[in-house]
Every structure is written in structure tokens, then in C-alpha cells.
């Protein structure tokens, strides 16, 4: 194992180990107030009907000013008060109108939730209402989920803006199977019930008068749930013969059944990348494995159930390749892809899916994970003929983004694992393969091998796609592509 683009023949830019390798408001003019004060008109002299003596005054002398008596003004203190009140009232009303218009605009016209790549917008209360408003159906694609290692079923309710557990009253296998199909699974294992812990937000109860439609349109909110809440298993996953008590600290050869989800992805019969079985129909790998000349599905073959990349196992043909639409070939952001197989994989004790992480499963810095693959065991070497694996601890993003490590290059869709001292890593040929951890007796997919600088170098740990962050995309593709 020693790491990344980790496609065997990809010359890395910065030794990119490829195989280890998401308003103008109209203004309102204030109404003009009528002039409440009449213009002052000086009194006009009226001719007297009686002739009188007009003294002769020399025009070279100034005429003394006439002292007029001040007339009665309309602008009395009482009228001023009335005018001020009227003006203030009008101003307040105008401000209220403007405020109401602004509220209406931001509530009804602004983009509250954006639909994937289409750029369309929907209102918040339309998200997960049981009716698809987005062109690609994104608003209804991730509205039910399983939570925690116990697979507790939850549904998102827009009215409450919250994920709520579902009460087990009137629940049965028929509804459980329908929910698994809505999530994108072609399989259903069982439904169960566990005690309802206190939920400040409440619970969801089935509306028995609604017999059809998606779960989120068939439930109502309640603060009472005495029957317990639903648990849902759509697929058997995460089983392995691996004994985690034997921690591999330098990488070593795997045994058959240790990593039953591990597959070899071969292009024209040559190993290029690794991948993970997540359902009988889907393989999860890295987007950089299927870009460029590798973007056609037909030359690809998936080998399962073997420790050796060239012999043994069973081969499956690929029907379609689905790379993340926002994958960035330079930064490796959103480095994830799915392979849709032409026929489902036959599951055995040595061929098993790995569990996709449930919501609420938080990985911690230092948590033990395992990476596996047929990658080179030394930097610049050829890929290994036999499957190897190594234990690597998770590294928090703050540490991984330090200037001496990856200097801010690790995004939310990435997760780091390895040793800052170097020595253990994934390498060329491991790209797309699994990074897994064991919790509650099951193995969970934490990441897919994405990139790194060199193999096992100091301060250059492996960087993987963050599966938890990418779950909504995974389920949308499974729903869309069947």
C-alpha cells in the first residue's frame, strides 16, 4: 500500500497519487403632502370714495415705510399639531407598506432551496413535501434516512425543518420495502422497533387514511409515541472475517474474506483502480478513475471475490459510469463515482457490501480505519499482485490543512487518514478503493482513496472522499438510475 492517483500510469502534477487518489426591490416614493399653509398676501389698499388731499412729496426723498397691521395667520399651534400628526401617520404607513413588500419578496421570491445543477429554486416548505418540484427530483431524493449504528428510521418534515423518528404504530414489511425502494435500494431485509427516547422535536405517526405516496407525505407530527420507533435494514452489509484485534501497522497481505467489498476495476483487462461494493448493483469508486480516456463504461470489468487482481474471482460488466457532476479534476473536490453493473453481484461469505454510513455517525480524530488495495508498495513501484491492507488513523481537517501538511487544500468533501510521520499509506493503484472503520460490529465506508503527495511521506497523509458528506448524492444516483 503506499498511495494515490493512484492510477498506475497517471503522471502526477504535484505527485498526485490518483489511485490513492453544491435582489432589486422597487422603491416606493413617499407621497407628497399638500401645502397646509396658505401663502401670505399683503393687504391691498382700497380707494376711498371721498376725495382727499394728496400732499406733494419730492421724488428725490425716500418714502417712509408703511406700518401694516399683521394679519391673522392660518398656521395656528393647533393646526401645526394636526399637520405633524398627519405627516407622521402617513410616514409610518408608508414604512409598513415597504416592510410588508420586502417580507413578501423574501418569503415568496427569493431562492430558499436550490435544485442541484439545474439552478432552479423551490420554497423551503416544498422540500420533502412528497411532490417533486426540482427538475431532477432533488427536493424529494433525500427525505428519509437511517440514523446511527442502530439504523433508526427518520424522515425530514419541512414544516418543522427537522428530521424526526417514525413511530412503529401500523408499520409493516410492505411499507418498509417501499421506503427502501424510495431510498434507492433494490433489497429489503427487515423492519424493527426500539424504545422511543425523548425527542424534543416530536415524532412522526402514520396517517392511516393515506395509503399511497412517499413516507414524508403519509405522516404527521406528534409529541406522543408509546409504541417505539422504527428501525430499517435495507441491505445486509458490513460483515467481515477480519479480526481488528490484529492491527496491521505497516501494511500486509490480506486474507480472503477480510475485505469482501473490495473489487479490482480493470480497463481492457488491466487493473486501474479499486472500488467498493455498496449494493449488488453498484460499485463506489473515485471520479478521477473514470475521467478522460477511462470515461466509457464498456472496456471496464469489475472483479470480485479474489485476493489476486489477475486470477480467480468473478467478473461483471459495467452498464454505466456516474461521476459527480461537480467533480473538480484539479482540486479533487467531490472525487466520487458510481459504476452501475449490467447484472447484480451474487453475494457470498467472501463477497459482501460495505455499509454506507448512517446519519449521526461521527468519526473522530485518531479513530482506527483500514485502507486496502492492489496499489504499489513503494512510491513509483508497480501495483501489487495480491491484496494488501493497512491500518491508518483519521486526522482532523484542521491538522490536515496546516501549511506544512496540505495548506488548506482539504475541503468538506474530503477526509484525511494516515501518519504525519509517514511510513504507512496508500499508493498508485489504490485509487477509488475503500477506507473503512468498524463500529457496533459492522464495517462502514468512511472514504474512497483520492489523492496525496507521494506515498507515505512525512506530513503528507492520504486524502479520501468523505462518504458522509457525499451521501445525498449517492442516494440520488441510486434512485435516478435504478
Report, as residue numbers or ranges, the catalytic residues.
Answer: 288, 335, 431
> Going by DSSP bridges, is the β-strand pair 282-285/270-279 parallel, antiparallel, or unpaired?
antiparallel
Provide the 10 A C-beta neighbour count for residue 74: 9
| Grid cell listed for 423 | 511510513
What is the distance between the alpha carbons of residues 414 and 331, in angstroms, rounded to a whole number?
A: 11
99's CB contacts (< 8 A; 6+ apart) are: none
Of the candidates 481, 478, 482, 476, the one whose C-alpha atom is nearest the C-alpha of residue 134 is: 476
Per the DSSP assignment, residues forming a β-bridge with 435 are 371, 447
Going 333 to 334 to 336 to 337, the CA torsion angle's sign is: negative
Residue in the structure block whose three cell numbers are 468538506? 412
Residue in the structure block whose three cell numbers are 414524508? 216
What is the distance between the alpha carbons of residues 36 and 14, in angstroms, rounded to a whole number?
A: 78
Of the candidates 431, 445, 453, 447, the one whose C-alpha atom is nearest the C-alpha of residue 376 is: 431
Per the DSSP assignment, residues forming a β-bridge with 62 are none
Amino acid at each position: 500500500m503506499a498511495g494515490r492517483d493512484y492510477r498506475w500510469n497517471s503522471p502526477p502534477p504535484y505527485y498526485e497519487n490518483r489511485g490513492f487518489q453544491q435582489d432589486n426591490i422597487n422603491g416606493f416614493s413617499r407621497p407628497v403632502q399638500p401645502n397646509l399653509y396658505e401663502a401670505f398676501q399683503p393687504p391691498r389698499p382700497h380707494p376711498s370714495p371721498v376725495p382727499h388731499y394728496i400732499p406733494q412729496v419730492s421724488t428725490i426723498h425716500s418714502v417712509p415705510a408703511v406700518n401694516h397691521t399683521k394679519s391673522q395667520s392660518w398656521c395656528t399651534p393647533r393646526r401645526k399639531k394636526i399637520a405633524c400628526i398627519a405627516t407622521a401617520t402617513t410616514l409610518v404607513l408608508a414604512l409598513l407598506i415597504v416592510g410588508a413588500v420586502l417580507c413578501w419578496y423574501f418569503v415568496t421570491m427569493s431562492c430558499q432551496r436550490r435544485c442541484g445543477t439545474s439552478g432552479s429554486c423551490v420554497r423551503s416548505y416544498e422540500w420533502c413535501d412528497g411532490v417533486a418540484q426540482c427538475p431532477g427530483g432533488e427536493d424529494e431524493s433525500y427525505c428519509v434516512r437511517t440514523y446511527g449504528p442502530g439504523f433508526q428510521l427518520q424522515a425530514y418534515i419541512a414544516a418543522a425543518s427537522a428530521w424526526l423518528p417514525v413511530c412503529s404504530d401500523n408499520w409493516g414489511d410492505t411499507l418498509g420495502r417501499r421506503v427502501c425502494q424510495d431510498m434507492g435500494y433494490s433489497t429489503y431485509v427487515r423492519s424493527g422497533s426500539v424504545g422511543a427516547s425523548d425527542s424534543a422535536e416530536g415524532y412522526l405517526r402514520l396517517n392511516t387514511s393515506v395509503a399511497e405516496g412517499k413516507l414524508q407525505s403519509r405522516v404527521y407530527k406528534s409529541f406522543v409515541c408509546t409504541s417505539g420507533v422504527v428501525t430499517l435494514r435495507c441491505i445486509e452489509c458490513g460483515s467481515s472475517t477480519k479480526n481488528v484485534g490484529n492491527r496491521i501497522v505497516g501494511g500486509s497481505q490480506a486474507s480472503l474474506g477480510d475485505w469482501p467489498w473490495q473489487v479490482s476495476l480493470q480497463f481492457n483487462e488491466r487493473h486501474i483502480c479499486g472500488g467498493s461494493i455498496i449494493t449488488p448493483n453498484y460499485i463506489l469508486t473515485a471520479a478521477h478513475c473514470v475521467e478522460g480516456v477511462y470515461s466509457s463504461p464498456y472496456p471496464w470489468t469489475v472483479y470480485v471475490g479474489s485476493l489476486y487482481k489477475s486470477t480467480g474471482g468473478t467478473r461483471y460488466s459495467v452498464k454505466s459510469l456516474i461521476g459527480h457532476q461537480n467533480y473538480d479534476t484539479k482540486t479533487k473536490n467531490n472525487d466520487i463515482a458510481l459504476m452501475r453493473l449490467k447484472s447484480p453481484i451474487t453475494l457470498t461469505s467472501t463477497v459482501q457490501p460495505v455499509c454506507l454510513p448512517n446519519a449521526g455517525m461521527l468519526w473522530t480524530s485518531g479513530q482506527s480505519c483500514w485502507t486496502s488495495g492492489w496499489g504499489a508498495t513503494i512510491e513509483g513501484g508497480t501495483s501489487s499482485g495480491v491484496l494488501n491492507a493497512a491500518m491508518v488513523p483519521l486526522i482532523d481537517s484542521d491538522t490536515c490543512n496546516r501549511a506544512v501538511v496540505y495548506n488548506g487544500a482539504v475541503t468538506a468533501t474530503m477526509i484525511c487518514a494516515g501518519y504525519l510521520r509517514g511510513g504507512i499509506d496508500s499508493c498508485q493503484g489504490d485509487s477509488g478503493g475503500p477506507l473503512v472503520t468498524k463500529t457496533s460490529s459492522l464495517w462502514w465506508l468512511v472514504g474512497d482513496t483520492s489523492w496525496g503527495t507521494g506515498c507515505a511521506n512525512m506530513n503528507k497523509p492520504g486524502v479520501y472522499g468523505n462518504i458522509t458528506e457525499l451521501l445525498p448524492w449517492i442516494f440520488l444516483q441510486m434512485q435516478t438510475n435504478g
